[in-house]
């Protein structure tokens, strides 16, 4: 069977349906079957794996997922793509397309209805770049029974997600995602393998869900509030950022100084120098004063 993801076949499909790309939906279709094989290989799928895909486009990645996994549930927001997917994915009986915005969908109930019989659950997708971060954070924060996430996103965002303390890429996004997962960049994808070509290179990132979060925190919500505050202005010290960004921070400056002392963190340090564990210790020390 001829792959969807070749330049010729992609053009044929687009011409047949008179499809035009919507920039607002971040549509860039992959036209290299080798990249798709590498993605499915990275996800290590089997017939005992249920897969959630987001933004299937014309089905290029979807068909590779269907060949290597037990069942694929794909969320597509663009109604114009539904008849195309019905046509291109006709040979496969283990795919279900859901016409919904993943950010508004009740993913837990979809898993219970469609994927409860599978031993493993993976999210594998070429994510629309403009909503990459909200999608990943939704999937992780809702405590879904997902084992891992293998997604394509902008290389710059992948660098931030997998960044280590002390680097310029490290920030509140690195902490939020590494709190739930072990993150590593699997490989880089050049912009030349897309139609239309994006302006930036992409990367495949592999997030392996931790059985327990990386650190213990009294309140996840407050922990993330603290980490976002710490990076609000990267050049400012941790003390200055927390004082100006936390609710009532200015009037509680003494409490912030005390919490930094308890956590053994020099107030003149910058957020990027703190490890995940140090942020957890700090958030837990601050929590009684701000709860």
- Report whether 54 contacts 28 (CB < 8 A): no
CA-CA distance, 213 to 284, in Å (whole number)? 15
Buried b (16+ CB within 10 A) or exposed e, 153-188: bbbebbbbbbbeeeeebbbbbbbbbbbbbebeebee
**Nearest alpha-carbon partner for 194 in 42, 31, 83, 55:** 31
Q: What number of other Cβ atoms are within 10 A of residue 20's Cβ?
A: 8
Give the CA distances from residue 144 to residues 50, 136, 180, 191, in Å, rounded to whole numbers and listed in that order: 13, 12, 11, 32
Give the CA distances from residue 209 to residues 144, 175, 276, in Å, rounded to whole numbers and listed in that order: 10, 14, 16
Q: Is 55 annotated as a binding residue?
A: yes
Q: Is 28 annotated as a binding residue?
A: yes
CA-CA distance, 265 to 263, in Å (whole number)? 5
Residue 26, sorted as left (phi over 0), alpha (psi -120 to 50) or beta, turns out to be left
Give the CA distances from residue 190 to residues 28, 152, 198, 217, 258, in Å, rounded to whole numbers and listed in that order: 12, 11, 9, 39, 49
Q: Is 76 annotated as a binding residue?
A: yes
Reduced to 3 states, what is the DSSP secondary structure of residue 50?
Answer: strand
Q: Is 127 annotated as a binding residue?
A: no
Angle between helices 238-245 and 220-230 (to 10 degrees): 120
- In the annotated binding site for S-adenosyl-L-methionine, the residues are 28, 30, 55, 76, 101, 126
- In the annotated binding site, the residues are 28, 30, 55, 76, 101, 126
């Amino acid at each position: 069977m001829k792959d969807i993801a070749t330049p010729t076949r992609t053009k044929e499909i687009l011409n047949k349906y008179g499809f035009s790309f919507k920039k607002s939906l971040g549509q860039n279709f992959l036209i290299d079957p080798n990249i798709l094989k590498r993605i499915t290989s990275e996800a290590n799928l089997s017939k005992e794996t249920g897969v959630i895909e987001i933004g299937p486009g014309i089905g290029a990645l979807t068909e590779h997922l269907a060949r290597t996994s037990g069942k694929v549930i794909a969320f597509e927001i663009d109604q114009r793509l539904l008849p195309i997917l019905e046509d291109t994915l006709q040979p496969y009986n283990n795919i279900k397309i859901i016409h919904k915005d993943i950010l508004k969908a009740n993913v837990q109930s979809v898993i219970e209805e469609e994927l409860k019989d599978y031993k493993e659950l993976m999210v594998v997708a070429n994510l629309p770049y403009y909503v990459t971060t909200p999608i990943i954070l939704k999937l992780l924060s809702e405590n879904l029974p997902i084992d891992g996430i293998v997604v394509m996103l902008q290389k710059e965002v992948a660098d931030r997600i997998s960044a280590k303390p002390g680097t310029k890429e490290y920030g509140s996004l690195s902490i939020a995602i590494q709190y739930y997962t072990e993150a590593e960049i699997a490989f880089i994808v050049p912009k030349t393998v897309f139609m239309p070509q994006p302006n930036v290179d992409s990367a495949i990132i592999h997030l392996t869900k931790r059985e327990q979060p990386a650190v213990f925190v009294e309140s996840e919500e407050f922990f993330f509030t603290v980490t976002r505050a710490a990076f609000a202005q990267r050049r400012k010290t941790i003390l200055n950022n927390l004082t100006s960004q936390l609710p009532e921070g200015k009037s509680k400056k003494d409490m912030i100084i005390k919490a930094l002392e308890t956590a053994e963190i020099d107030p003149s340090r910058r957020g990027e120098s703190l490890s995940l564990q140090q942020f957890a210790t700090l958030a837990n020390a601050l929590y009684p004063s701000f709860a």
